[in-house]
Structure 1
Amino acid sequence: MELLPTNPINEIICPVARTAQILSGKWTILIIRDLTTGIKRFNQLERSLQGISPKTLSERLRTLEEEGIIIRTTFAEVPPRVEYELSEKGRDLVGVIESMRSYGTQWLCHCADKEQDK
Protein backbone atom coordinates (compact mmCIF):
# COMPACT_ATOMS: atom_id res chain seq x y z
CA MET A 1 0.00 0.00 0.00
CA GLU A 2 1.45 3.36 -1.09
CA LEU A 3 1.30 6.22 1.39
CA LEU A 4 0.50 9.55 -0.18
CA PRO A 5 1.94 12.68 1.38
CA THR A 6 -0.70 14.73 3.09
CA ASN A 7 -0.84 18.31 4.15
CA PRO A 8 -2.25 18.36 7.70
CA ILE A 9 -3.63 21.87 7.23
CA ASN A 10 -5.96 20.56 4.51
CA GLU A 11 -7.23 17.80 6.80
CA ILE A 12 -8.66 20.25 9.34
CA ILE A 13 -12.41 20.37 8.91
CA CYS A 14 -13.37 22.89 11.60
CA PRO A 15 -13.50 26.37 10.01
CA VAL A 16 -12.25 28.03 13.21
CA ALA A 17 -9.28 25.67 13.44
CA ARG A 18 -8.49 26.10 9.73
CA THR A 19 -8.58 29.90 10.02
CA ALA A 20 -6.46 29.81 13.17
CA GLN A 21 -3.95 27.54 11.41
CA ILE A 22 -3.55 30.07 8.58
CA LEU A 23 -3.31 33.11 10.85
CA SER A 24 -1.21 31.54 13.60
CA GLY A 25 2.23 32.17 12.11
CA LYS A 26 4.20 34.88 13.85
CA TRP A 27 3.83 38.16 11.91
CA THR A 28 1.05 36.84 9.64
CA ILE A 29 -1.78 38.90 11.13
CA LEU A 30 0.41 42.01 11.18
CA ILE A 31 1.25 41.57 7.49
CA ILE A 32 -2.46 41.36 6.70
CA ARG A 33 -3.08 44.40 8.93
CA ASP A 34 -0.50 46.41 7.02
CA LEU A 35 -1.97 45.41 3.67
CA THR A 36 -5.44 46.61 4.68
CA THR A 37 -4.34 50.15 3.81
CA GLY A 38 -3.44 49.19 0.24
CA ILE A 39 -0.68 47.87 -1.98
CA LYS A 40 2.74 47.59 -0.36
CA ARG A 41 6.22 46.71 -1.56
CA PHE A 42 8.48 44.31 0.33
CA ASN A 43 10.63 47.07 1.83
CA GLN A 44 7.54 48.97 3.04
CA LEU A 45 6.32 45.88 4.87
CA GLU A 46 9.77 45.22 6.27
CA ARG A 47 10.01 48.77 7.65
CA SER A 48 6.55 48.69 9.22
CA LEU A 49 7.17 45.30 10.86
CA GLN A 50 10.19 46.24 12.94
CA GLY A 51 12.08 43.14 13.98
CA ILE A 52 10.97 40.81 11.19
CA SER A 53 13.79 39.24 9.21
CA PRO A 54 13.69 39.39 5.40
CA LYS A 55 13.64 35.56 5.33
CA THR A 56 10.62 35.38 7.64
CA LEU A 57 8.77 38.09 5.71
CA SER A 58 9.42 36.24 2.43
CA GLU A 59 8.17 32.98 3.93
CA ARG A 60 5.00 34.54 5.34
CA LEU A 61 4.24 36.36 2.09
CA ARG A 62 4.75 33.14 0.12
CA THR A 63 2.42 31.22 2.45
CA LEU A 64 -0.25 33.93 2.27
CA GLU A 65 0.01 33.91 -1.52
CA GLU A 66 -0.33 30.11 -1.62
CA GLU A 67 -3.44 30.39 0.57
CA GLY A 68 -4.92 32.97 -1.81
CA ILE A 69 -4.95 35.70 0.84
CA ILE A 70 -2.58 38.05 -0.95
CA ILE A 71 -1.80 38.77 -4.58
CA ARG A 72 1.82 39.19 -5.61
CA THR A 73 2.42 41.29 -8.71
CA THR A 74 5.85 41.39 -10.33
CA PHE A 75 6.80 44.15 -12.74
CA ALA A 76 9.44 43.54 -15.42
CA GLU A 77 11.61 46.49 -14.52
CA VAL A 78 15.23 46.97 -13.58
CA PRO A 79 15.49 46.56 -10.68
CA PRO A 80 12.47 44.24 -10.45
CA ARG A 81 9.50 45.65 -8.57
CA VAL A 82 7.14 43.42 -6.59
CA GLU A 83 3.92 44.57 -4.95
CA TYR A 84 1.60 42.81 -2.53
CA GLU A 85 -2.10 43.39 -1.93
CA LEU A 86 -4.97 41.60 -0.27
CA SER A 87 -7.14 39.40 -2.45
CA GLU A 88 -10.90 39.26 -1.93
CA LYS A 89 -10.28 36.33 0.42
CA GLY A 90 -7.73 38.43 2.30
CA ARG A 91 -10.01 41.48 2.52
CA ASP A 92 -12.59 39.24 4.20
CA LEU A 93 -10.11 38.82 7.08
CA VAL A 94 -10.18 42.55 7.86
CA GLY A 95 -13.25 42.08 10.08
CA VAL A 96 -11.42 39.39 12.06
CA ILE A 97 -8.47 41.72 12.60
CA GLU A 98 -10.72 44.63 13.54
CA SER A 99 -12.44 42.40 16.11
CA MET A 100 -9.02 41.52 17.53
CA ARG A 101 -8.10 45.22 17.69
CA SER A 102 -11.34 46.01 19.50
CA TYR A 103 -10.88 43.16 21.97
CA GLY A 104 -7.26 44.12 22.61
CA THR A 105 -8.17 47.76 23.17
CA GLN A 106 -10.93 46.87 25.60
CA TRP A 107 -9.28 44.07 27.53
CA LEU A 108 -5.53 43.97 26.96
CA CYS A 109 -4.21 47.49 26.48
CA HIS A 110 -3.56 49.37 29.68
CA CYS A 111 -3.76 52.86 28.27
CA ALA A 112 -3.55 56.00 30.41
CA ASP A 113 -7.22 56.74 29.68
CA LYS A 114 -8.29 53.40 31.13
CA GLU A 115 -6.23 53.99 34.28
CA GLN A 116 -8.00 57.31 34.84
CA ASP A 117 -11.41 55.62 34.64
CA LYS A 118 -10.64 53.43 37.68
Structure 2
Amino acid sequence: MNNKEKLFSRKSPPAQSARMVETIIGCKWSVTVYHLLLNDINRPGEMVSNVEGLTTKVLNACLKKNVEFGILERIAYNEVPPRVEYKVTNFGNKFIKIIDQLEALQTEINLTE
Protein backbone atom coordinates (compact mmCIF):
# COMPACT_ATOMS: atom_id res chain seq x y z
CA MET A 1 0.00 0.00 0.00
CA ASN A 2 1.49 3.32 -1.00
CA ASN A 3 1.38 6.50 1.03
CA LYS A 4 -1.00 8.55 -1.06
CA GLU A 5 -2.03 11.88 0.33
CA LYS A 6 -5.42 11.64 1.99
CA LEU A 7 -8.30 13.70 0.60
CA PHE A 8 -9.69 14.48 4.03
CA SER A 9 -8.04 15.05 7.34
CA ARG A 10 -9.65 14.60 10.74
CA LYS A 11 -8.13 17.94 11.63
CA SER A 12 -9.82 19.90 8.85
CA PRO A 13 -13.14 21.45 9.84
CA PRO A 14 -16.25 20.37 7.94
CA ALA A 15 -17.93 22.75 5.56
CA GLN A 16 -20.53 25.04 7.15
CA SER A 17 -23.45 23.01 5.75
CA ALA A 18 -21.98 19.73 6.98
CA ARG A 19 -21.40 21.20 10.44
CA MET A 20 -24.97 22.47 10.51
CA VAL A 21 -26.44 19.08 9.60
CA GLU A 22 -24.19 17.23 12.08
CA THR A 23 -25.11 19.65 14.86
CA ILE A 24 -28.84 19.74 14.23
CA ILE A 25 -29.29 16.03 13.55
CA GLY A 26 -26.99 15.32 16.48
CA CYS A 27 -29.58 16.96 18.71
CA LYS A 28 -32.24 14.28 18.95
CA TRP A 29 -34.87 16.88 19.84
CA SER A 30 -34.56 19.11 16.75
CA VAL A 31 -37.02 17.16 14.62
CA THR A 32 -39.44 17.03 17.56
CA VAL A 33 -39.17 20.81 17.93
CA TYR A 34 -39.96 21.24 14.22
CA HIS A 35 -43.09 19.10 14.61
CA LEU A 36 -44.14 21.13 17.65
CA LEU A 37 -43.74 24.39 15.73
CA LEU A 38 -45.74 23.01 12.80
CA ASN A 39 -48.51 22.32 15.34
CA ASP A 40 -48.42 25.93 16.66
CA ILE A 41 -46.63 25.00 19.88
CA ASN A 42 -44.05 27.76 19.82
CA ARG A 43 -43.31 28.68 23.44
CA PRO A 44 -40.57 26.79 25.33
CA GLY A 45 -42.78 26.02 28.34
CA GLU A 46 -45.45 24.53 26.06
CA MET A 47 -42.82 22.47 24.27
CA VAL A 48 -41.47 20.96 27.49
CA SER A 49 -44.95 20.17 28.78
CA ASN A 50 -45.96 18.49 25.49
CA VAL A 51 -42.95 16.17 25.11
CA GLU A 52 -42.16 13.43 27.58
CA GLY A 53 -38.49 13.40 28.53
CA LEU A 54 -37.67 16.85 27.20
CA THR A 55 -36.07 19.15 29.77
CA THR A 56 -35.84 22.94 29.72
CA LYS A 57 -32.02 22.83 29.68
CA VAL A 58 -31.83 20.48 26.70
CA LEU A 59 -34.58 22.35 24.85
CA ASN A 60 -32.83 25.70 25.32
CA ALA A 61 -29.56 24.28 23.94
CA CYS A 62 -31.43 22.82 20.95
CA LEU A 63 -33.30 26.05 20.26
CA LYS A 64 -30.10 28.09 20.55
CA LYS A 65 -28.32 25.92 17.95
CA ASN A 66 -31.27 26.19 15.57
CA VAL A 67 -31.34 29.98 15.96
CA GLU A 68 -27.57 30.21 15.37
CA PHE A 69 -27.92 28.35 12.07
CA GLY A 70 -30.88 30.49 10.99
CA ILE A 71 -33.39 27.64 11.04
CA LEU A 72 -35.49 29.19 13.79
CA GLU A 73 -36.15 32.77 14.84
CA ARG A 74 -36.45 33.76 18.50
CA ILE A 75 -39.08 36.42 19.19
CA ALA A 76 -38.94 38.09 22.61
CA TYR A 77 -41.91 40.21 23.65
CA ASN A 78 -41.44 43.13 26.02
CA GLU A 79 -44.10 42.00 28.48
CA VAL A 80 -44.38 41.15 32.16
CA PRO A 81 -43.91 38.26 32.59
CA PRO A 82 -41.54 37.98 29.62
CA ARG A 83 -42.78 35.92 26.69
CA VAL A 84 -40.57 34.19 24.13
CA GLU A 85 -41.76 32.37 21.04
CA TYR A 86 -39.97 30.62 18.19
CA LYS A 87 -40.87 30.38 14.54
CA VAL A 88 -39.37 28.66 11.53
CA THR A 89 -37.52 30.96 9.13
CA ASN A 90 -37.79 30.77 5.34
CA PHE A 91 -34.43 29.00 5.32
CA GLY A 92 -35.71 26.72 8.10
CA ASN A 93 -38.68 25.68 5.97
CA LYS A 94 -36.30 24.61 3.20
CA PHE A 95 -34.08 22.78 5.69
CA ILE A 96 -37.04 20.96 7.25
CA LYS A 97 -38.18 19.81 3.79
CA ILE A 98 -34.76 18.19 3.34
CA ILE A 99 -35.06 16.50 6.75
CA ASP A 100 -38.52 15.25 5.77
CA GLN A 101 -37.06 13.81 2.56
CA LEU A 102 -34.38 12.01 4.60
CA GLU A 103 -37.06 10.53 6.86
CA ALA A 104 -39.06 9.40 3.81
CA LEU A 105 -35.94 7.79 2.36
CA GLN A 106 -35.31 5.96 5.65
CA THR A 107 -38.91 4.70 5.65
CA GLU A 108 -38.48 3.51 2.06
CA ILE A 109 -35.25 1.72 2.96
CA ASN A 110 -36.93 0.04 5.94
CA LEU A 111 -39.79 -1.18 3.74
CA THR A 112 -37.44 -2.79 1.22
CA GLU A 113 -35.36 -4.65 3.81
**SS state at 1:98 partner:** helix
Query: Per-residue CA shift, 1:23-70, capped at 9, x if unaligned?
Result: 222212221232234461112221333211110001111111111111
Deviations 1:63-97 (A, max 9, x none): 11111111001111111110000112211112123
- Cα deviation for residue 99 of structure 1 reads 1.5
Specify whether residues 71 and 14 from structure 1 end up closer, same or farther in structure 2 by C-alpha distance, changes over 3 A only: closer
Match of 1:36 among 20, 31, 38: 38
**Unaligned stretches of 5+ in structure 1?**
1-10, 110-118
Gaps spanning 5+ residues in structure 2: where?
1-12
User: Residue 76 of structure 2 contacts residue 85 of structure 2 at CA under 8 Å; is this kept in 1?
Assistant: yes
Asked if 1 retains the 8 angstrom alpha-carbon contact of 2:72 and 2:87, the reply is yes
* Superposed CA RMSD: 2.3
- The number of residue pairs the alignment matches comes to 98
**Normalising by the residue count of structure 2, what TM-score does the alignment of the two structures yield?**
0.70
Q: Which has the higher contact order (CA 8 A, sep 6+)?
A: 1
- Aligned to 1:40, the other structure's residue is in SS state coil
Task: Report the counterpart of residue 21 of structure 1 in structure 2.
Answer: 22
| Distance (whole Å) between structure 1 residues aligned to residue 99 and residue 85 of structure 2 | 22
Whole-angstrom distance in 1 between the partners of 2:63 and 2:16: 24
Q: Partners in 1 of 2:45 and 2:55 — Cα distance?
A: 11
Q: What's the TM-score once normalised by structure 1's chain length?
A: 0.67
Counting aligned pairs with the same residue, the percent is 27
Structure-2 residue corresponding to 1:95: 97
User: In the TM superposition, what are the counterparts of 1:40-59 in structure 2 within 5 Å?
Assistant: 40-59=42-61
Question: Using the alignment, how far apart are the partners of 1:14 and 1:64 within structure 2?
Answer: 14
| CA 1:104–1:13: 2 relative to 1, 3 Å | closer
* Aligned residue in 2 for 1:75: 77
